[in-house]
Amino acid sequence: MFGDKVLDLKAPRKRRLFVTVSPSDYKELMKYLAESLRITHISTITGADVGAKIEVMPHLFGLGVELTVKTMVPKDKPELDSVTDIYPGAVLYEREVHDLLGVVFKGHPDLSRLVLPEEWPEGVYPLRKDYKAQQPEPIRKG
């Protein structure tokens, strides 16, 4: 039923599957996986900066397959539907991706800070490629 919506499908080794879909079909696919195929375990969500876009990759496990769903959102408008209503285990993982890469998950109950400190500036996302780690200034000079 997702035949023409699957943009790419890869199986690099046994029990590993990578499925690419567009952001508009993302939630529908996740719903299908959870409700029809009963793949209910979400291990984590990886976010990756790939230039002009940010790739969001939930890693699921079920039916003996480690399934990675891949979808890309534009960096200037990084918005994606939240899957927390389907996968309650994804609450912290979506917050982590929001914290470190700035992806806004629409429909997430609480997208507050998870791992970054309170004094961290707004709009600075450390896992984006344009963020360079800096050496802290020494407190005592000389």
Which residues sit at the interface with other proteins, rule CB under 8 A? 12-13, 15-16, 18, 40-44, 46, 48-49, 57, 59, 61, 64, 66, 68, 87-93, 100, 113-117, 126-127, 131, 133
Report, in Å, the least distance between residue 89 CB and other proteins. 3
CB-CB contact of 55 with 48 (8 Å): yes
Strand, coil or helix: 2: coil
Helix (H) or strand (E) holding 98: helix 91-101
CB 11, min distance to other proteins, A: 12
**Residue number, 1 or 123, with CB nearest to other proteins:** 123
* SS3 readout for 27-95: HHHHHHHHHCCCCCEEEEEEEEEECCEEEEEEEEEECCEEEEEEEEEECCCCEEECCCCCCHHHHHHHH
Minimum gap (Å) between residue 45 Cβ and other proteins: 9
d(CA 49, CA 46): 10
Nearer to other proteins, 13 or 140 (CB): 13
Q: How far is the CB of 78 from other proteins (least distance, A)?
A: 16
Give the residue with the Cβ less far from other proteins, 29 or 90.
Answer: 90
Tokens of 105: 């998950």
CB nearer to other proteins: give 11 or 24.
11
